Structure 1
């Protein structure tokens, strides 16, 4: 069976070297290169085929999630496994949505990595044990359930989602921009989010929009 042509992408040379030596005895892998940036990997992919990429989320020129999309656009058959220290559930889910076949934390054992490589190459989505635990925990928004909104808040939320400013919303609803701003702040608070972009995203997830 031909060995899987494998690349490691990480902004820390020591991580790349460590993984290379860890995986050097794997009978099913051939490590063809280590890359410190997304651009370096993409230019290599222009002229070389890769079966497997072990990819970090934090890179100097782009994030790993964005790079997943770019890799898949160039080479749909390349398998991507994320190896990261990021434990946010939303990042894990985004990585998978953007084409990664698995997600492991950097403290995973070599056995977990081996297992995930086999699963991923066979077309499965796989996670390290710790990542499985993170995913299976309900998110804060799911625990809290959907916030109860007044009719006015629903109207304002829909107009915010349509990209309208407080000024324009005020004119449409015959309210002062200050009142609209107060509603906007209340909505952000009710949903437990940091900004309008997150507000819209959560409202869509909860099928309020």
Structure 2
């Protein structure tokens, strides 16, 4: 059972999420909070495994809250749950330490799957990559990728682990490890979070 904290200043959203996830045997809502102050107090009271954060909050925004949680409670994993699909918000949340990004239009299965993927050490992005708010001319140049590297990149972005990717693509874990290292090298980054951030900026993630 994965214990989650939900932070949103709209009572109807909180009630809706509680009803949506009620009875699920994989996640449990540990706390619901309407602002950052309540959220930090709740975390101190009992640590959740994953915190779902709205970005538009009344005291400090979800990006700053994400930073505070990662600074004070580094073991708590954070995921944005918001209406904002703009790439700038996605990038800022990942830079703040978030391990996932979900839109409020996500289905129950998408939310649960995102929480599970993040809890198991992956990253999860469930956002459109063709939003009209995305400025194509701001994208940095993309490196040349092989078809297989593109497949691996998309699966990494969806939060799959190396063994899971190997199973899906019918290759060995060592082969997936090699592809992951090649991707880090081609994007000139040192970790998965930076890899996904750049892939989102470049529009390479499905």
Sort the TM-score into its range (normalised by shorter chain): 0.5 to 0.7
RCO higher in 1 or 2 (8 Å CA, sep ≥ 6)?
A: 2
Aligned to 1:125: 123
User: In structure 2, what is the equivalent of residue 60 of structure 1?
Assistant: 58
Q: TM-score, normalised by structure 1?
A: 0.62
User: Which runs of 5 or more structure 2 residues have no equivalent in the other structure?
Assistant: 142-206
Q: CA deviation at 1:35?
A: 0.3
Counterparts in 2 of 1:143 and 1:48: CA distance versus 1, 3 Å: closer
Partner of 2:164: none
Mark the structure with the bigger radius of gyration: 1
Count of paired positions: 139
* Conservation of the 8 A alpha-carbon contact between 1:104 and 1:131: no
Matched, 1:140 2:149: no
**Consecutive unaligned residues in structure 1, runs of 5 or more:** 145-209
Taking the aligned partners of 2:140 and 2:28, their CA distance within structure 1 comes to 44
Contact (CA 8 Å) 1:9, 1:35: kept in 2 or not? Answer: yes
Query: Residue 110 of structure 1: CA displacement?
Result: 1.5
**Which residue number corresponds to residue 20 of structure 2?**
22
CA–CA distance in 1 between the matches of 2:130 and 2:122? 18
Describe the SS at the equivalent of 1:114: helix
Distance 1:18 1:80, change over 3 A: same
Cα distance in 2 between the residues matched to 1:133 and 1:53: 27
Superposition pairs of residues 173-192 of structure 1, within 5 angstroms: none
Q: Look up the SS of the partner of 1:72 in the other structure.
A: helix
Secondary structure in 1 matching 2:139 = helix
How far did residue 127 of structure 1 move?
0.9
For residues 1-80 of structure 1, the aligned pairs below 5 Å read 3-80=1-78
